């Protein structure tokens, strides 16, 4: 049974996923690709920046919920391969002068930059501008770093907004700023 959406947090979801995936590199692959795959279909009609941020975090929660469910019956390697089929082409098609992968939107969506503004374009920018690691390795490292950061921070503070804010900051810091 899926918990109520307002009860989820990265801490709880990553704790559950870690019970199913013991190899740290596999966990990093699942998290790195899982976060990006979760954000690919994200669209928000809201003009409120905070609401868009929270929507992105909830999209990541949904993706992690799906990963947890799938990890019970499907090998982590197979799951990563499935996500790579969606994520790798999007990274390859990304152009820094666009906020989304080339061919990924129509004119209306490009005009409404708010629908995609946020995590995904910034993650793509970091993945395509860094030459020290290939994108796959960077996503694995970021997935591992996210896991350790969230576990080190522990349970988020009480209150839904506090949880969403902390989780957004964790994703943003690890996947965009490269801070651990």
| Structural domain boundaries in the chain | 8-177
Q: Taking Cα atoms as reference points, which of 171, 166, 167, 169 lies closest to residue 142?
A: 171
Q: What is the pLDDT of residue 44?
A: 85
Q: Is 105 exposed, middle or buried (0-12, 13-18, 19+ CB in 10 A)?
A: middle
Q: What is the pLDDT of residue 95?
A: 66
List the chain residues with pLDDT less than 50.
1, 3, 5, 99-116
Q: Report the b/e string of 45-75 with b at 16+ CB within 10 A.
A: eeeeeeebbbbbbbbbbbbbbebbebbeeee
Q: What is the pLDDT of residue 110?
A: 35
Q: What is the pLDDT of residue 154?
A: 92
Q: What is the pLDDT of residue 112?
A: 38
Q: What is the pLDDT of residue 106?
A: 40
Q: What is the pLDDT of residue 179?
A: 80
């Amino acid at each position: 049974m899926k918990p109520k959406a307002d009860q989820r947090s990265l801490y709880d979801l990553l704790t559950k996923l870690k019970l199913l995936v013991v190899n740290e590199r596999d966990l990093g692959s699942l998290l790195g690709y899982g976060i990006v795959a979760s954000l690919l279909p994200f669209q928000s009609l809201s003009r409120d920046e905070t609401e868009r941020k929270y929507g992105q975090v909830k999209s990541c929660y949904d993706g992690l919920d799906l990963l947890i469910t799938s990890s019970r019956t499907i090998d982590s390697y197979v799951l990563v391969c499935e996500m790579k089929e969606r994520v790798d082409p999007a990274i390859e098609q990304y152009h820094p002068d666009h906020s989304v992968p080339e061919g990924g939107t129509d004119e209306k969506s490009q005009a409404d930059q708010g629908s995609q503004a946020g995590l995904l374009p910034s993650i793509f920018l970091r993945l395509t501008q860094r030459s020290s690691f290939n994108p796959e390795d960077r996503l694995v490292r970021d997935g591992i770093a996210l896991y350790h950061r969230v576990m080190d921070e522990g349970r988020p503070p009480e209150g839904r907004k506090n949880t969403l804010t902390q989780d957004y900051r964790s994703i943003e810091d690890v996947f965009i700023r490269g801070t651990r």
